[in-house]
Every structure is written in structure tokens, then in C-alpha cells.
Amino acid sequence: MLKQSISLVPARRDLYQAKLVFYLFIASLSVFFIASLLTYYLVRVQSFQPIQRSYETLTIPWSFWASTVLLLLVSVFLQRASWMVHRERQAEFRRWLLWGWATAIVFIFVQAIGLQELLAHHFTQSDGSTKIYGMSFTLSLIHVLHVAGGIGFLGYIIAQAFRNRYDHERHWAVDHCAGYWHFLDVVWVMMLITFMIAE
């Protein structure tokens, strides 16, 4: 029994290190996105000053609302996948992973419609404006790039899942993948709220 416990120490150390790296990664991204949203908000507040020659209002593209639903669905599907692997229901685990991956791909296409609309509005703004559409496009694009990274991570998880690398004991990578998508949800919702408040 003692020998078995000792043999688990390196595995647990690897798990703790992986968790620490994941949490530090999420913390660094949180600082980046919070700083970006605060900068966006402060620039919008400054645009009310008399020195500003024109004030452009932001119309949030309809596709952003559709993509919000899709992003939330990805999180739900991946959370379901995490629950399934904890219970050794491998077929359902893989199925939920694939549903999450497919929904994430659709999110990218729907989000691209909104990005294109923001960019088109940006080029119609006057030189004296705060270029609110360009700023919104930049923030949204940064989020989409992180979603693309999440799709790559999810693709890796799916490939490993079909090689039977995950079970009720080895599932931390699946949990971290789901956690990353939950983080993307929170960031996106905060971004939309900031867009609406600073409209």
C-alpha cells in the first residue's frame, strides 16, 4: 500500500503543476481583458468631452447575440463531456466533445459576420470620431483569436479521447478545456455589457 502511494506522488505533482499553470494562464488573460475593457470604457467616457468633434454610437451586430448563444452552448456541451468522462461513459463523452467542437466552428462563422459589419461601419466614420466601431472590432477579434486557440485545444482533447487517453482517473485536461471555455463565456458577456454601457 505504501509503495502504491509513493508511486502516485509524481503523478499528483504533475497534476498540481498543470493546475497551477492553467490558473496562472487564466489569471494573466483576465488581467489583459479587464485592462482592455477598462481602456475601451474610458475612451468612450472621454468622447463626451467638448473637445470631441463627433460622437458615434455603437450598434451591436445581431450576429453577436446569436454567437453568444452558440458560445454558451459550447460551454454546456464541454461541461457535459467532463461529467461523462468522470462517470466512464466514453461514448457520450466523445459525442459531447464533438458537439462542442462543431458548435465552436459555427460560432467562428457567425462571429465573422459581426466583425465584418463592425469593420464596414468603422470605415464610414468621420475623422473626428473616437472610431468606436474599430475599437469594438479589435476587442472582438482578440476574443475570436482566443476562441480559435480554444478550438485547437479542444481538437487535441478530441484526438486524445478517441485514443482512450481519458477516464475517471485521468481527466484533468478535459476539465481544463471546459474551464477555458467557461472563461471565454465570461469574457464575452463582460465585453457585450461594456459595449452596451459605453454605447
For every one of its 199 residues, what pLDDT tens digit does the chain have, with 9 covering 90 and above? 434 433 444 456 676 777 788 888 889 988 989 898 888 887 776 655 545 555 667 889 999 999 999 999 999 999 999 999 999 999 999 999 999 999 999 999 999 999 999 988 887 866 555 577 888 899 999 999 999 999 999 999 999 999 999 988 888 899 999 999 999 999 999 999 988 887 6
How many Cα atoms are found within 13 Å in the side-chain-facing hemisphere of 35? 6
Whole-angstrom distance, CA of residue 138 vs CA of residue 115: 9
> What nine digits make up the cell of 46?
472621454
Position 169: which residue type? E
CATH code for the domain in which residue 103 is found: 1.20.120.80
Angle at CA of residue 110, ends 102 and 63, nearest 5°: 135
Cβ pair 114, 64 in contact under 8 A: yes
Q: How many domains does the chain have?
A: 1
Range of the domain at 143: 2-53+62-197
**E strand segments, the chain:** none
Q: What is the pTM of this model?
A: 0.83
